[in-house]
Structure 1
Amino acid sequence: MDYFFTSDDLSPTSPGDACRSSPISRRFKSAAESDTIWERFLPSDYEQIILRSVSPVVSATKKDLYFRLCNSPILLDGGNLSFSLEKETGKKCYMIPARELIIIWGDTPRYWTWTSHPNSRFLEVAELRDVCWLDIKGKMGTQMLSQKTTYASYLVFKMAEKYYGLDAAKAYVRLVREVDENEARDKAIIVCLKSKGQHFGRLPKERKDGWMEIEIGEFFNDEGDAGEVEMCLIEIKDLHWKSGLIVEGMELRPKETR
């Protein structure tokens, strides 16, 4: 027997629930794939975000658009930001490219070089030539992120074929209005940039896109009115020379609960 369902019957569900419910009946499938349902799963400001894309974002339906944004990040603001959606929830994810990060000595060719990389979504990545003072920061306004969401921040990177001095570093994430920088540094965690060898901190993981990532901290974005969130990777106490870190950017995405 084919029951009658409307899109309103599905309004409380998640994108995953809507997909799993489609096979129940033809009418349920029609409701589950309607533009009305899938527009509810998209961010309320998705149209304004898409207008900032460097290339056209074309989709036949709102469901197609949803999965387009989940599976293929788009570049915004002339390529100075990357945007995507978290597939299970539709919450916003952003990656800040290396060029938009605050990298101490980043404009000094003796210490850092800027180059293209075939696997990067951005035009440039930063490659560490030789520094003893490693300090990389990224900032973003919390109003840009999904509300009532715990976000994790990740450094997205690779190691050059030849590298040294990059065993570990300190990392922290802070809401600028709420946590003093010195306090955040005192509570910074240890992260390992190498996946092999001796470890005494958080380890990096390989991403589906071929880059490595290391989680550098998390925070709860309540109403999106907490000002800026600052993310930092730093090693300024053990002043040995370091080389071979290739930075694509810093990513903010909802914290995995599983």
Structure 2
Amino acid sequence: MEQIQVGDSKCGGGISRKDAVVSVGGATTSRFDTLPEDCISMVIYHTTPRDACVVASVSKTVKSAAESDLVWEKFLPPESSSLVPRSSKKETYLSLADDPVLIDEGKKSFWLEKGSGKKCYMLSAMDLKITWSDSPAYWQWVTVPESKFEKVAELCNVCWFEIRGKISVRMLSKGTHYSVYLVFKRVSSRSYGFDHTPIEAEVGFAGKEASKTFVFLEPGDKDPRSGYGYSGVSLAAVSRAFRTRRPWMRFPREEVEGERESGGNVEEPKERGDKWSEVKLGSFYTNDGGCDDGDEIEIAILETQMGQWKSGLVFQGLR
């Protein structure tokens, strides 16, 4: 799960310097660097990691206060010290922000969003429930150098495609908007069964109605068989296809084009710089007063209605 928006912090640096006047969280304090260092640390303590880095440029005194363990321990989650112990709390923080670490016996990776300190996770394929994943005829567990996890799931051949995952709200940062992505890649040119096939995606709290959408796992390139690409296909067209059990690309082209303004488009995969692709499955918000620590977030991605066989993708996990 990746933090996308912090509920209680500003994205731009909240601390700046102009002629020895420092603005901290909207309040202006003159001669900030003449205060005792521990007082300066306590002021910075109530800001964000981004603010602490910005205000460090004010003076040597403020820099020393901004880099103190008192400040950076507040930005770190309690479990961080055992994960990557460093000589200072700031070094521990930066290490977790720059390089995810494996947890839960290597089934998850954990890191901090650098600007806010919000907790982020990736659930490996080994931590997911994949239908028929224990049958070598349908799925294989392989090792690839591009993955930090020991094993990834390679799809051999299935007609019933279903992947599910969950994570406890207790593990996440409160008051935070999260987005969920499926991370995967093609096995050279052997993939089939996913072109023009929308995949259902669900994200939400367990026991409550989940948000539902559709995604593509193949990029929206021009298909010579149909005469037009599927990039920008509307959710309305795909929803109608599922209701009628009729492939959307068999609708008259003008119908598909006319529905593109109805309720947004189906998400398509985007290539990353690390040889993997990702597609957004949905979002959720961990409201301070709106969910319990015992709640779980459930994620599902499935295609069980069209019946065509699918193959040739490798799944690293959900983030």
1:207 corresponds to 2:272:
yes
Q: Give distance in 2, aligned partners of 1:210 and 1:11.
A: 39
Q: Equivalences for 1:184-203 in 2 at 5 Å?
A: 184=210, 188-197=212-221, 198-199=230-231, 200=233, 201-203=266-268
* Equivalent in 144, 147, 171 of residue 201 of structure 2: 171
Amino acid at match of 2:158: V
Q: Partner letter of residue 60 of structure 1?
A: S
Q: For 1:1-258, what aligned pairs fall within 5 Å after superposition?
A: 3-5=33-35, 6-47=40-81, 50=82, 53=83, 57-161=84-188, 162-167=190-195, 168-179=198-209, 184=210, 188-197=212-221, 198-199=230-231, 200=233, 201-223=266-288, 224-225=292-293, 227-251=295-319
Q: CA deviation at 1:203?
A: 1.7
Cα distance in 2 between the residues matched to 1:16 and 1:170:
37
Select the structure of larger CA radius of gyration: 2
State how far apart, in whole Å, the 2-side matches of 1:73 and 1:23 are. Answer: 28
Secondary structure at the counterpart of residue 164 of structure 1: coil
Kept in 2: contact 1:177–1:226 (CA 8 A): no
Structure 1 CA distance, aligned partners of 2:298 and 2:283? 10
- C-alpha separation between the residues in 2 aligned to 1:69 and 1:13? 19
* Aligned-partner SS, 1:107: coil
Distance 1:247 1:74, change over 3 A: same
Contact 2:45 2:70 in 1 (8 A): no
TM-score (normalizing by structure 1): 0.87
State how far apart, in whole Å, the 1-side matches of 2:163 and 2:208 are: 20
Corresponding letter in the other structure for 1:30: S
Distance 1:89 1:208 in 2: 23
What CA distance in whole angstroms lies between the structure 2 residues aligned with 1:213 and 1:9?
40
Point out the structure with the larger strand share.
1
* Contact 2:159/2:310 (<8 A) preserved: yes
Instruction: Please list the CA deviations of residues 117-142 of structure 1 after superposition, one character each: whole Å capped at 9, or x if unmatched.
Output: 10101000000011111100001111
Q: 2:61 & 2:271 partners in 1: Cα distance?
A: 42
Unaligned 5+ segments in structure 2 are: 1-19, 21-30, 222-229, 234-265
TM-score (norm 2): 0.71
Taking the aligned partners of 2:96 and 2:275, their CA distance within structure 1 comes to: 19
Q: Which runs of 5+ in 1 are unaligned?
A: 252-258
TM-align CA RMSD: 1.7
- Kindly indicate whether the alpha-carbon contact (under 8 Å) linking 2:220 and 2:268 is maintained by their aligned counterparts in 1: no
Identity within the alignment, %: 41
- Counterpart CA distance in 2 for 1:13 and 1:107 is 48
TM-superposed deviation, 1:26: 0.7
User: How far, CA to CA, are the matches of 1:116 and 1:192 in structure 2?
Assistant: 25
Give 1:22 shift: 1.2
1:210: Cα distance to partner? 3.1
* 2:201 aligned partner, one-letter code: A
Residues 83 and 137 of structure 1, relative CA distance in 2, 3 Å threshold: same
